[in-house]
Each structure stands twice: as C-alpha cells, then as structure tokens.
Chains A and B, each alone.
Chain A
C-alpha cells in the first residue's frame, strides 16, 4: 500500500454544510433536466452526505461521483470517476456520475486539454477516493467502538472481523460527513485494482444514443431568445457600421446590436483569442427566423490598421501582441515561408559541430515539408446559453477551459467573478477549439444587453470562418552522410504562420552527435490556437517521413534505423535536455513491429511505419494500404501505445481509433486556405473531412503493460498517423508525400 499525504487544498474538501451557505451551487441543478431511467430513479436516496467535493453518498449506499473536468469526447467523465471509485472501494454499478459545474473553490483543475486529464488527475482523484474511504472507516470505528485499523472495506461495505460487525457505506455516510479529514491516507497497490484496468461503458452512453439533452445547444427554457453573430467576412477586416433597420421588422426579430468581446485596455490571458471582437448580434424568437435576418442584415466592413493589445502569458507576465494589418492569401504565405526558410533563424539547440559535418559530407539529403491551416470543425458548432441579470450571471456552455474565460467574462460584463456561475455541458467535440471560449463572453454580453436568457448559436459557416486554426507550417530537414552512408549530422529548421513547430529537444535530438535545430515565425492576423496535439500534429509527420527516406538512402530498414538511433540515445546520449525516455520509445516500436509482423514478407508490402512521443505518451504505428486502380484505401492499422496504466481499456482503444482516423483524414484532406483574408471553405461541402468510405478498414490498438502512472490519449495517436500514412503511400505509389493534404498531390 502506498501512503499519500493529503496535499489537496483544504478548499477541495469543503463539507456540505459549508456548501449550503455558499449559495448558488445547490439551487441550480442541470441534472434535473435529464431523464433518469427507472432503475436510476428507484435507486435515488432520500438524503445525500457529501464527503468531499468529488463524493456524496446516499443513506442507501448509492454514491455520486462528480466529474470535475469538462467532457468533449475523450471519456474523462467515465475514466476519472473510475479512479475515485477505485480508491473509495465501491461497486461501480452503485455509482452515479454527475458533471460538476465550474467551481474553482472545490476543484483545482477543471481543464480538458493537452491530454492531461488523467495524468494530472491521477493522484488527486485517488486521494479523494481514499480520503472518503478512510472517513467511512473512522465513522464505523466510532459507531462500533472498535479500532479503525481493524476495519476493512470491500465493494462499498465495511466489516470488522473480530466482532462480526458489517454495514454498507450508506449507513455511515452521515457520521463520516462530520468527521475530521485524515491527514494521511493509504492508496491501493496497483495489483489490488478492481475497477481501474477493467473496461467500463461511457456513463452518458444511454443518453447519447437516445438523443437526450446533453449539449448546451440542446438547452431551452421559458423566455429564452436565440442569438446569432455577424462577423467580418475576412481576417484583416472589422465592423464599420450596420443598418439595423434592414432586419428589425422581420418576423421574430427582437433586437440587433453591436457587442465588443473585450473591454478597452483589458489585459487578455493567453487563451483570449478572438479574431473579431466587435460583432453584430441578432436576437430573435427562433433559430430559423434569426438565420433569415442574418442573411438580410446590411453591414459595412473596413480594413483593420496595425494594432496591439496586452496579453498575459502562462507565467502571468503581460506582453504586447502586435496584430498586423492586411488581407492575407495562402499563395503569398507559401512564398513568404519559402523566403523565411532561407533566412538566418533563431538557434534552438546545437550539439557538436553540425556546420563542419555538413561541410565535409559526402551526401546531403534535404527535404521540405508543409501543412496548411486546419479548421477544428467540431460537429456541435460553437454555442452558449447565458442568463445575465443585474447582479448575477449563469453561463451554460461548451468550454474546455472555463478557468481561462472567467476573468474575461467578469471584465466584459462589469461583474464580480463570484457572481458568475459557469455550468459545463457535454461538448460535441473540442480538439482544442473550445479552450478558446469567447463564445461564452459573446453570449453573456448579448444576454446582458437583451435583458433575457439567450442561447447564442454559430452557424456552421460562422464556426468555420471565425476560427482559432491550426497554423500553417513549413520545415526543412537535412541529413549529412559520409561516403559509407554513415549519418554525420542532422539539421531541422522550421517555422510557420504565425508559429514555429520545432520541438528542439525531441528525438532525434540526443541520438545524433552533430545536431542543429532552428526556428522562425511570420506574423499574421489570422487567429491560431491549439489543435489536437499542437505543433506535434505537423512536425511528427515531417520528422518521421524524413527518417523513413533517410533510412532508405542509408540502405536500412526504417524500424531498424530508428532502433539504432535509440541505442545511441540510451547508451551514450548527446546532451542532457532530451525530452523523451528512449527505452519507452523502443518499447512501443518493438511492440508495433511484433504485432504487425513487420518484416514478414507475406504481409502487405504497402506499409509504413512511424513512432512519436508527445503529451507524455509513446506511440508507434504501422499502416497497411490497399492500392489498386490508382486508389488508396487504408486497410489495417496497428498501433502500440505506452501510456502507463490503462484506466479504461476499451475507452482507451476507442480514443486511439479516433485519433488515428482523424490523422488519416487530416493528412489526406484537411486544408483551409485563404484568399484576401477570406477562408476559401465555410461548410462541409467545400471543406473535406474523412467519411465512412475513406475510414480505415480495421484498427488494432495495443498497450505496453507496465505500472507507470497513467498519461493521456486524446492527442498522442494523432501525430504519428500522418507519417505512417505518408510512408505507406510511398511504398504503394513510389512517390513521397511532402505536402499536406496528401490527397491534393
């Protein structure tokens, strides 16, 4: 048994009594809007006793576990409560999972993104479960008059062997809720886990398949109005004026007005990304009526001038961000990136003497890789419900990061943070997009001005053309070889509009004597942000494609070549800042190799390999293609993953399958181009996404078995897919793919 100090902030363990006086939380239950099954209704207890901010237990033993993090499809709403339930030592079938509202006084981290939910939640969630279990033990000890150390628990029951006393958690919950929180609790041994490691079904599964309201777009209430925004048609433009009279008399239209997302001089935080802070809002009685008005509204736009705003970084220090003027086009950006790639750039890392090695090289292999902007295209478009009154505001919407928008809401509404309650809906996809929650501020401002509860809805066109995109990237790799084709030096130089994708300390840094990494950036007024595995989603594909081609030039098998590099990184690493564990990297490479029977000539010859480490998880993939009549079909994908302990295996496989399918789709088709600042795509008829007919025929996801603390899966399987696919396509067609999307070339 592992002992853990109760390092969670005391505020995370607020009792129900404190809560009751705390106000708005308890009076506002979104759960009440959901339909319970008959079984659930029968099981509902008469009274709940809250043991800490994650757990409340009813007198009949039914246990509610709050899921603190917002759910966007990575299944944290099931997997994270499983961790609590494990340490609480309860029967999973007696658990009801409830989405917690945003409540920073109760939860330390209500953020879904960066594949960090499970990793960062692991110890706090276990501690929460173990603490409640100890309180129940202490309550039973007090009631029975026996030492707590002699009481054991199993599946929600407490027993004292010597006296033969036994009872279930519900019987002791009321006393447990009054006891002192233990300072130290014991955590289970991994080998004693009963819930973690067993596949549990999605707790929202039934509600999803029966179409019950789970998403904020599904929220309706009496007196609620519908709102839509009208935003500039192009990046580099802003609102000049509009003629409200063109729509004011239209059926169902209640009001038309301007909103400004940020107060003047507001110091934004790092996720306050909004291309068009000034918008026109149309408010009406029904969606269709507002959509009609949106088409009719006469608006004048004007070009922006170069401007600046202040933004706080992660460290809290504010810096000035410059927004350039101009209407940008993809063709110009491509030319500019080519130009920048030849200029002197920032040196990010240098080992040995790469300049000398390249000078003395017998052969230099140089290849350039590019990728376009991508739109997130969550299936549920941006939307948010807001009910802003004079002295309080209730926001219900899809946000991956409510903590990052609260200050902005408070500033823009001119209201204390304490008066603003954000409730978290299930999200119809996130992929990074909903870490930027200006839709919440827009909804709130519209409600405040309309003096009514309002649901803001983006049309699909709004969603795609008012985005926070994956940047446009460009990278050149060079490798120096001697006359015996031995690798002498490696050079990576990359940049983008407006962000550099190079991770200088990642593989193959540390495995090559002479190494140089450089970066550059081109400013832009097109808004960019996190998109499933930021930067890695491009650089993995480029790096792993280059290594494939390099292995071929060196006359080596691509898997063997990688393993040789890792041998060096394990036995005699270059430098000390290498951002990976070479042994775990080797583990997934060998597992994928063995599971896919790499090297077995009876298997497909049209196969590609790639491995990548990002977001704390190691992945290797083998992709087999079907290629006939000049048509590529993805036949089979074998993935090997090291994410430590796998909390919910079937859900973990599902996440892996999704990441891979998304990777295939974006590698082949994903692309958002611009012409004079205007996105060339605005809906699914002109933005191609992977569909059933292009989906991989079969995907197998295997996990390295170990007892390492778990890491996340939302992102890591996505990046290597681009390269495994490119490398397989080369085997099928004889042509290398350097420029995404591959289906374009």
Chain B
C-alpha cells in the first residue's frame, strides 16, 4: 500500500492503494468516478478511456504509481452540465443504445478532435478503432464526430 496524490478533473485527491492498481479501479472504487467503465481489462475495448494531460489512454493499463502529478480528465470532468461540444453532438444524434461504451467513445473522440478538428471518415474509423460498441452505434458515432467538426 502507498499514498498517492492524484490531480483529477481539476481537484487533488489522496488515495491509499497498492502501487500496481490500475488507475481505472482507483477512479471507480476509490474516487467513485464511475463514468470510466470496465470492459475488458486488457486495453482491447476502450470503455475505460480517460485523458492523461491531453492524450486518450486506456486507464485499465496504467498503474496508479506511474501517474505522478500529471493531469487526469475523466468524462465527469469534461464539462459542467454535459455540454462539451462532443457531448452535445452525441445528444443531438441520440447515439447511445445501451450507453455503456459511450463515455469511452466520447473521451476518444474529444482527443481525436483536439489534434484533428476536421477528420475524414478514414481518420475517424482509424482513431476510434480501439473503442468497441457491442450495440453497433458506429455510424451514429461517425455522424456525431462530423457534426462537431462542422461546428468548429
């Protein structure tokens, strides 16, 4: 067990956990930030996507001991009232079916649009390929991302 000071969504949190604990489980079990989902535990589904600094990463693969003072953003920290442009596009396309993977999809899309504000279909498919949606909402996700890129 060790103590860590984590900077999550603009606030500092203290946790005492085993150093090998993936940040996914620190967020969920200890900080109760449950928007970051467990899907596979082996970085194959993207449901646990968060941002470390501005990069989208799979939180199931990152031990808490490696974070240091880097800035963590989860879906809960993306906006105050679900009004980030990507969230708004998701709402306007009514993307979700079961909804479980969508927070990970949104975090991945936000990171994509930061580096590539006008992605082509191929750019979208390639950047989002690690995010599984079992319900098959891929065509709507693509539309939502394109909506955002048109707005900005």
Contacts and interface: CB of A to CB of B under 8 A. Distances in A.
Contacts of A199: 94
Given A212-B35, A286-B25, A380-B100, A692 B45 contact: no
Contact of B136 (A72, A659, A683, A684): A659
Interface string A129-172: 00000000000000000000000000000000000000000000
Interface stretch (A17-25, A203-211, A546-554, A599-607): A203-211
Interface string A682-706: 0111000111110111110000000
Contacts of A472: none
B126 A693 contact: yes
Interface string A395-439: 000000000000000000000000000000011111100000000
B140 interface: yes
Nearest to A698: B139
B112 to A, nearest CB: 11
A665 B136 contact: yes
Contacts of B81: 37-38, 210
B133 interface: yes
A169 to B, nearest CB: 28
B67 interface: no
B75 A210 contact: yes
Contacts of B106: 209
Contacts of A426: 98-99
Given A202-B96, A288-B25, A695 B76 contact: no
From DSSP, what is the main secondary structure of chain B's interface residues? loop
Contacts of B39: 379-381, 460, 684
A289 B18 contact: yes
B139 A288 contact: no
A206 B80 CA distance: 12
B113 interface: no
A218 interface: yes
Given A220-B34, A691-B132, A684 B100 contact: no
Interface string A285-308: 011110110000000000000000
B13 interface: no
Interface string B95-114: 11111111100100000000
B6 to A, nearest CB: 15
A202 B126 CA distance: 28
Contact of A661 (B36, B41, B139): B139
A695 B132 CA distance: 11
B136 A662 contact: yes
Contacts of B82: 206, 209-210
Nearest to A226: B29
B41 A696 contact: no
Contacts of B22: 288
Interface in A101-152: none
A685 B44 contact: yes
B37 to A, nearest CB: 7
B138 A695 contact: yes
A73 B100 CA distance: 9
A226 B25 CA distance: 12
B42 A696 contact: no
A305 B130 CA distance: 43
B94 A379 contact: no
Contacts of B96: 73, 202, 204-205, 208-209
B141 to A, nearest CB: 7
Given A202-B94, A429-B100, A430-B98, 19 more contacts: A73-B96, A74-B97, A208-B102, A208-B103, A209-B103, A210-B75, A211-B74, A286-B21, A286-B25, A292-B18, A379-B45, A380-B100, A427-B98, A457-B38, A654-B97, A661-B138, A661-B139, A684-B132, A692-B131
Closest 7 CB pairs of A and B: A211-B35, A661-B136, A428-B100, A73-B98, A695-B138, A211-B75, A208-B99
15 contacts: A73-B97, A205-B91, A209-B96, A210-B78, A288-B17, A379-B101, A379-B134, A459-B41, A460-B42, A657-B139, A658-B97, A658-B135, A684-B40, A684-B45, A692-B126
